[in-house]
Amino acid sequence: MNITKTFIDGVFVIEPDVYKDKRGFLFESFRENKYGELCEKFVLDIVSCAHKNVLKGLHYSRHSAQLINIVHGIIYDVVVDLRKESKTFKQYFCIQLDASNPKQVYMPSRCAHGLYVLSDNAVLAYKCSRYYDTSDDLSVMWNDPELGIKWPLTSEPILSDKDRRGKRVSNVEFC
């Protein structure tokens, strides 16, 4: 397993050991004794499927860290640092995640997550350090000019109502 620190403190890209042969491949998507030093304890797994041109985010939690793993498809994945005390506050990290070359992204709480689906479909698995709480499910505008995220849009993104109502980062209450 290879763990790479990003320029955002606490955000890591994890490349698990992948075992391939003529039948396909196998890798451990989580092993507590390997990930435990890196990550918080996880209590919830979520699986999400989205279609091409769906843009989700930027979602964040004040209390829950996440480990993101792509199971099928290709996405453009974005993490934004919303920790006011951080030296990379309001900066973003992006990476293309492709299920044929498994990589994972770990992000601590108070970092926002967004994704844009590049393939026909994409399936993601999230590990969360807290149970889902609607009062802690917050959103920042995906296209906030203050953040300046360069999304690789191939057409008008498909958004949820929640993502259409995301707040400008300048209007978010940071803790």
Least confident of 27-31, 46-50, 77-81: 27-31
pLDDT of residue 171: 85
Q: How many CA atoms lie within 13 A of 152 on its CB side?
A: 14
Which pair of tokens denotes residue 55? Answer: 């843009």
Q: Cis peptide before 115, with omega less than 30 degrees from 0?
A: no
Q: pTM of the predicted model, to two decimals?
A: 0.91
* pLDDT, tens digit (0-9, with 9 covering 90-100), for 109-120: 999 999 999 999
Catalytic residue positions, numbered: 59, 126
Q: Tell me the mean pLDDT in the region 91-98.
A: 97
Helix (H) or strand (E) holding 162: helix 161-164
Q: Which of these, 99, 27, 40, lies nearest to 67 by C-alpha position? A: 40
DSSP one-letter code for 34 = H
3.40.50.300, 2.60.120.10, 1.10.10.10, 1.20.58.1610: CATH of 2-171: 2.60.120.10
Query: Residue 25 — very low, low, confident or very high, per pLDDT cuts 50/70/90?
Result: confident
* pLDDT, tens digit (0-9, with 9 covering 90-100), for 139-170: 899 999 999 999 999 899 999 999 999 999 98
Give percent of the chain with pLDDT exceeding 90.
67
Is the pLDDT confidence value at 3 over 60?
Answer: yes
Which pair of tokens denotes residue 43? Answer: 């209590």
